[in-house]
Amino acid sequence: MSADNERRRLPRLQLDLQVELVDQASGETLGVLVNVHLEGFLMMGGLTLKPDHLYTVELRPITPVPSLEPVTLTMDCLWTRAMGQQDRVWAGCQIVDLAPDEKQKLAAMIEQFTHEAAEEEQHQRMA
């Protein structure tokens, strides 16, 4: 088991819907979620992401989903690693501030994504 896996307490959930992270201070899109849980996430972003830096962001589905509301939270960018593309990085982020109503929205987003993923997996097995 790697050191990264030993530190993880919660399973990472893959998202079937692209969700962008928009910096509330600048309005710029910082990147997109790769996987998520209620304490943190992995994202793919640009070189402007700085480790050990706090960002207040809004998580928004790129294609709007009527039943999902954007989620506002403060994240700590723990680390970044080059992706092999000149201007893109992987970034590990911890959620450091999440209001109770925003946590409910994030939980609903995760629930819907994992439900859809399970449904699609079941459909693929039946095909």
Where are the chain's structural domains?
Answer: 3-126
Query: What average pLDDT does range 91-110 have in this prediction?
Result: 95
Give the per-residue pLDDT at 3. Answer: 40
pTM of the shown model: 0.78
State yes or no: pLDDT of 93 exceeds 90: yes
Encode pLDDT of 16-62 as tens digits: 678 999 999 999 999 999 888 899 999 999 888 999 999 999 999 99
Give the per-residue pLDDT at 15. Answer: 58
Residues 6+ apart with CB under 8 A from 123: none
CATH among 3.40.50.12500, 3.40.190.10, 2.40.10.220, 3.40.50.620 for 3-126: 2.40.10.220
